[in-house]
A and B are shown apart, each in its own frame.
Chain A
Amino acid sequence: MGDTKKPPSRQKPLHSPARSKSTGASRSGTTGIKDLRSVLYKKFRSFPLFSRRRSKSIVDKMMSLLLLWGLVIYLLAIAGVWLGSTKVIEDNFSRQAADWIKKLDELGTPLYTGNVQESFSSIENHVSRFPEVSYLRYYDNKNKDVIAEYKSDDLLETQIDHPDADSFAAAQNKTAKGSPLFIQTADTDLSLIQVLSPIVIRSIQSEDMMNFDLESEQKESTKIIGYIEVGLDFSQYRQQLVDNLVLLSLGFGATFILAAIYGRIVIRRALKSLINLRKPLKKLAKGNINVSFDSDSDGDEEIVAISSALNTTIAALKNRDHELQQLANYDSLTGLLNKFNFNIKLKEEIERITAENDSSALLFIDLDQFKHVNDNLGHAAGDRLLVQVADLLKSRIREEDVLSRFGGDEFTIIAKSVNATEAKKIADSIVKSMHDFVFIEGNKSYNIFCSIGLAMIDPDGSTADEMFSQADMACFQAKSKGRNCYHMYDVIEQEQNRIETDFGWAKRIKDSMTDGSLSLYYQPIVSLMDEGVEHYEALLRMHSDNGEVLLPGAFLSAAERLGLAVEIDYWVIRNAFEQVKQFNEQGKTINLAVNLSGRVFEAPNLVKEVRKLLKQSNINPEDIVFEVTEQTAVRQLDRARRRINELMKLGFRFALDDFGVGFSSFNYLKKLPVEYLKIDGSFVVGMTEDPVDQAMIKAMIQIANILDKKIVAEHVEDKATLEMLKEFGADYAQGFFVGEPMPECRYEKYEAVLSHTASNVVKLKS
């Protein structure tokens, strides 16, 4: 039994958390937390449901949902168990506390009637057997003094406050309201439940006893004779509860994990057929159509349908791919390799030969009478001829050789691993076969011959293009020799031919300038805005001995090589001036555009020569528009500008030719004092079909308008183009639709051409 005096105030068992961590430790702790957060964030993001990846596996998604829901249920279950158990244990503690109070109330009866010391010894003996009873006090009612006190061994050194007057009053009130207990949680670290309860005696009122009824609600007299205070330490039970809950949680967790694993197996099994699609689908997504999907009838109905659809689609894709390959690599008429594919094969062969130090031959075959067949018997007959020739050629080559239809009536063959002699034998056999070949069409038979150019493919570093060129030249030689034969390319022979050719060209060009072989053709340029003067462009032509008209491309390269280009340019200028003069003498005024090549434009005496010619012709220089290509003008911009300005001072006007094909900035336009911009034909030819060309032409027109320059569109070849150009605001049009180049300035013909065109095209008067 303890001291009956009221003990001093209890020392508050405050436990402040230790704050001994150093700054460094804090920093490293912060870094560690950041790392941990980063890792957790990554883990979180790697969780399929929260991944930012757009594509997520259905299985992963379902598993994630399963896990998520499982986790939620798990947490709810644990929380429910925890809360429920806590509630149950709290209720249990309350019940136990009530039982204890009842028990101690009865045990303490002698304290209020008999010998306190003796009576309490037995109580102490009793409660000491129960570790949950931490302390016990009995108070008298009058002064609330402690009559008897017991403390467990654990609390012997601990001082516990006595209840204050309010607590006694509260306990009394609780009792009055029928609640036997006044429970408060101890403010110590002992997790005590302190219970204070009054000790009440009751008696039946004397008058009630005469009319006694055991179950009656008759009020009994009550009197408080003391109080019991007991401290119950249920921490041991609480710890047991926590341990059990932890075990339960672990059990739940293990069950959850097992369920998740089993769920994953079940889901994967259920979705196996869907999962099996993933691998071939990935291949398919990468463009690999060499996959197939298992459309086993045992699979799921939906998956079988998807697999069948995919297999059908892949089959269609393969067919289309095959068709495209055929179209891309083979000639649709003859079934032979086309030019593109042959080119690849040739390159491969060149590489092989270089690697193996071997030699092969390239045969370039051109049918001699194909144009005749095509023109007289029609294209269908021509096609049939080509098919038969292809079959014939196939029969003449070995299996390893490569045969292609190179284009039109041209065939090419790579005769693999042959020397020059063997190559010639092959070429000879083909020529002979063709010689024997008879093409029958419409009860008529035709002899079709061929010319073959032969070039040896040696490991000498020649490219495929060079090989083609050599074979082409050899074929040309074969044709020159009178056709129906083959010719093998020889470098020395070819050089000699070139010299001979150049020599011939030099004489021919020089002669042409005097014998009338050279002439100017005039192509009309129509104004789309007004009915101004007639415009023409002077174009150079050469007449061959056999009456063929040669374009400048055929002889200008030779002329440049032989240093005759400038002389030709001056010829053109002189004759153009003469033409204008003739018109002037007839009382007509025309504008004539004259091309200046880069070579003459940069010639130091150009201005002097032009001035002299102008003087000789005595024409109005404003009738002449010199055309300089964009490339020539931009090459040396300042010099070009000076040259143009010099000629403009003489009265000539300038046009910038082939505008748009160079890579120059529009900026230079501001520096060139040209009056006309001639849009390159490449933009105009397909403009009705190509929105990009339309946009570019619009932009050029817009810029020209801003710079106050006039736009001339070349290569106008149909009505739609002409109308579109007018709509866009182009000033002039030139091209076959407007008028072909003609030996004379015949504007009437141009009018005739325009007579059936759209009415909105302005007709120029003759």
Chain B
Amino acid sequence: MSVRFAPLWLMLPVALLLLNACAPAPIVTPEPFKPEASKPQKPESVVVQEKPELSVAILMSSPAKVFAETARDITSALKQTQKQNVTEVVFTGDKKKDTSLIEKIRTGHYSHVVALGKRAANAAARLHNELVVFSHVFNDEDPAFASNKMKGVSFLPSPDQLFKDWKALSPTLESVALLTSKNHDHYVAVAKKAADKQGIKLVHQVVENDKEFVYVSKRLPPTVQGQWILPDYKILSRSALKTVVSFNAKNGKQSVVFSKGLLSFGALLYVNVPNATVADLVVERLRDSLGKKTIPGQDVLIARHHNLVINKKVAGQLNLTIPPQYQHTVSR
């Protein structure tokens, strides 16, 4: 079942309730990917209603650029439609300081907290009065952050869109492997479903470390034509990534990766969800929960758009024909 969220955020609350009730899993299937549009569509006409003012604290796990950009995008999006009071807090990794920062948040009477990154999510999980939207947490199931007052936005690509794109590029693709660490059941289930839709069998295996990641990757059955590599830091090392991607390229297996650098090692596709997309979903969740005591909707929203880069050289080596609508995504 597919539900279009972004243009319909002003639909009737009943419809929303119905949607929530009908959803089989807490993960929302995104809209089909539109290659022509590089940025998510903004609502063409917005009727601003008087709503209570948002008092948001954005917690960043570190001063990393990705967090800063996302925070900036969130603030920017909120400014457009909402009275708001946004405070940005950056964790340093120092336990004492971080505890002190949390205490300030606790006493700051914020209605909402946005946690960017796992460290921030961990801290925010200790808040009880504020509604928390977390993002940039790779594995929200370990530990399980989601609750009525704390829900997230995934920065992983939409499996539906990914497999659709992948199938379009490689029509004969029938079997793909996905190796993850444990506790990725939800996302893997969504991914399997999305793969099935495209007639692709997703072979999933849990591995414990980078060594096993390499070992298993090198011993995938010959029927497996490709491997999707998620940014699963627990089982990845740089050398393992390079080894596996290189190995796949040498053995005619297609690799879908989360790092552009791996294209030069033989990856076929690079998939990445833009920070702005994630920021939009975070803002959406904030608005949805405005004036409420819980955050409605699924535990984790998955982005509906992602950036895609096709490795032309590898595609050529694999005898893949790049469809015209993907030409603009081809790497040079």
Contacts and interface: CB of A to CB of B under 8 A. Distances in A.
B151 to A, nearest CB: 19
Contacts of B208: 113
User: Interface residues of B: mostly helix, strand, loop or mixed?
Assistant: helix
A216 B259 CA distance: 12
Interface string A220-240: 100101000000000000000
Contact of A203 (B65, B118, B209): B209
A210 B211 contact: no
Interface in A35-90: none
B61 interface: yes
Interface string A193-228: 000000101111111111111111000100101000
Contacts of A223: 209
A313 B256 CA distance: 103
Contact of A202 (B61, B138, B239): B239
B212 A204 contact: no
A202 to B, nearest CB: 4
Contact of B215 (A110, A204, A208): A110
A203 B239 contact: no
Contacts of B118: 206-207
Contacts of A211: 64-66
A208 B214 contact: no
B138 A106 contact: no
Interface string B29-72: 00000000000000000000000000000000110111100000
A199 B211 contact: yes
A214 B261 CA distance: 6
Contact of B117 (A113, A210, A213, A216): A210
Interface in A623-677: none
Contact of A201 (B211, B233, B261): B211
Contacts of B138: 206, 209
A214 B262 contact: yes
A202 B240 contact: yes
A201 B240 CA distance: 10
Contacts of A112: 211
A582 interface: no
A202 B237 contact: yes
B9 to A, nearest CB: 27
Interface in A103-140: 105-106, 109-110, 112-113
Contact of A210 (B136, B239, B262): B136
B140 interface: no
Contacts of A207: 61-62, 64, 117-119
Contacts of A208: 233
A110 B207 CA distance: 11
Interface in B191-220: 207-212, 214-215, 218
Contacts of A202: 209-210, 237-240
A201 B209 contact: yes
B212 A214 contact: no
B233 A106 contact: no
Contacts of A210: 61, 64, 66-67, 117, 136
Contacts of B117: 206-207, 210
B272 to A, nearest CB: 10
A214 B209 contact: no
A208 B62 CA distance: 10
Nearest to A201: B209
Contacts of A205: 233
Q: Which of B64, B65, B238, B240 gathers the greatest number of chain A CB atoms within 10 Å?
A: B238
A214 B236 contact: no
B316 interface: no
B67 A203 contact: no
Nearest to A107: B215
A207 B237 CA distance: 14
B298 to A, nearest CB: 22
B173 interface: no
B234 A203 contact: yes
B242 to A, nearest CB: 7
A209 B237 contact: no
A109 B65 CA distance: 36
A203 B237 CA distance: 5
B237 A204 contact: yes
Interface of A: 105-106, 109-110, 112-113, 199, 201-216, 220, 223, 225
Given A110-B215, A209-B236, A214-B241, 4 more contacts: A106-B218, A213-B259, A214-B238, A216-B238
23 contacts: A106-B214, A106-B218, A109-B212, A110-B215, A199-B211, A201-B209, A201-B210, A201-B211, A202-B237, A203-B209, A203-B233, A206-B117, A206-B138, A210-B61, A210-B64, A210-B67, A211-B65, A211-B66, A213-B261, A214-B238, A214-B241, A215-B261, A216-B238
